[in-house]
């Protein structure tokens, strides 16, 4: 049995990048939510950005679940 180290590094790198992207999107959404709740002239723009960041982070998580769970057709059988 041998390990394909290049494929291992690719998977590890993709995992790190996806985790960083999801955490960044979610934390940006939380920050924008705080700005929107404070009110002010740009509360509408902050609220729109908040919804967009929450939606993008949710989509990334759901796509990851789709790829992992075999019943959804993402993982090879």
- CA-CA distance, 17 to 37, in Å (whole number)? 30
pLDDT 10s digits, 29-41: 999 999 999 988 8
CA 47 to chain centre: 19
Query: What are the pLDDT digits (tens) for 12-24?
Result: 999 999 999 999 9
Q: What is the pLDDT of residues 36-59, one digit of tens each?
A: 999 888 999 999 999 999 999 999
Q: Is 26 in contact with 54 (CB distance < 8 Å)? A: yes
């Amino acid at each position: 049995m041998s390990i394909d180290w290049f494929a291992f590094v690719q998977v590890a790198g993709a995992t790190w990048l996806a985790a960083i992207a999801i955490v960044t999107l979610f934390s940006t959404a939380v920050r924008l939510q705080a700005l929107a709740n404070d009110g002010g002239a740009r509360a509408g723009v902050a609220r729109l950005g908040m919804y967009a960041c929450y939606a993008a982070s949710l989509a990334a998580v759901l796509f990851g679940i789709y790829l992992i769970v075999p019943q959804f057709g993402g993982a090879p059988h």
